[in-house]
């Protein structure tokens, strides 16, 4: 039976690096599910930089909305990384898709029996100021809700701060 490890932290805290480093220690098949989309040049450069961090043995799946479906295709893999939930929430809100039903499907699929380890990466965004507009507040609220749901369903949770990983649930 596989493990679910939730990795959270602030922007540029090292959470994706941590998940990749841990995953690279494992043998077997590896899948990276990316939720980012190259909407502009800067984001395309960020995506490319993330791709260059992964060794050649990784299979990549790019899925901006139907994350549960993408995850369903990886149940027999040894290691899977989903990076990241906050971009996924943003993608849904920008497309005016109700996130809550998608959250339920994702959590259900996440908890399904897996062969290997699943790392789920997400930004912790609730430690900052209250956003000044309705869309940003909705994003913060939805991301916070999804993070709570994911952490609760995970076997382990790790908070990465300034490149230092702290186990907050084991």
Domains, the chain:
26-169 (3.40.50.300)
101-150 per-position pLDDT tens digit: 999 999 999 999 999 999 999 999 988 888 899 999 999 999 999 999 99
85-96 per-position pLDDT tens digit: 999 999 999 999
pLDDT of residue 44: 80
35-79 per-position pLDDT tens digit: 998 888 888 888 788 777 777 889 999 999 999 999 999 999 999
Dihedral (CA of 62, 83, 104, 77) sign = positive
Show the tokens assigned to 106.
Answer: 């994702």
Cα–Cα dist 5/120, whole Å: 6
Q: 3-state DSSP helix/strand/coil percent for the chain, to nearest 5?
A: 40, 25, 35
Cβ atoms of 158 and 18 closer than 8 Å: yes
Does residue 170 carry a pLDDT above 90? Answer: yes
Widest Cα–Cα separation across the chain: 46
Cβ atoms of 64 and 88 closer than 8 Å: yes
- For the annotated catalytic residues, the residue numbers are 50
Does residue 84 carry a pLDDT above 90? Answer: yes
Which residue's structure tokens are 């702290």? 166
């Amino acid at each position: 039976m596989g493990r679910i490890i939730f990795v959270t932290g602030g922007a540029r805290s090292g959470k994706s690096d941590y998940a990749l480093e841990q995953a690279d220690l494992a043998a077997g098949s590896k899948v990276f599910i990316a939720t980012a989309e190259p909407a502009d040049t800067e984001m395309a450069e960020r995506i490319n930089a993330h791709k260059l961090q992964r060794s050649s043995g990784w299979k990549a799946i790019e899925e901006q909305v139907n994350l549960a479906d993408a995850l369903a295709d990886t149940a027999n893999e040894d290691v899977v990384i989903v990076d990241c939930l906050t971009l996924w929430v943003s993608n849904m809100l920008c497309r005016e898709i109700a996130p809550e039903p998608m959250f339920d499907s994702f959590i259900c699929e996440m908890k399904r029996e897996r062969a290997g380890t699943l790392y789920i990466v997400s930004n912790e965004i609730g430690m900052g100021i209250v956003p000044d507009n309705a869309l940003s507040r909705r994003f913060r609220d939805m991301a916070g809700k999804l993070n709570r749901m994911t952490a609760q369903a995970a076997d382990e949770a790790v908070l990465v701060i300034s490149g230092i990983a702290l186990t907050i649930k084991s």
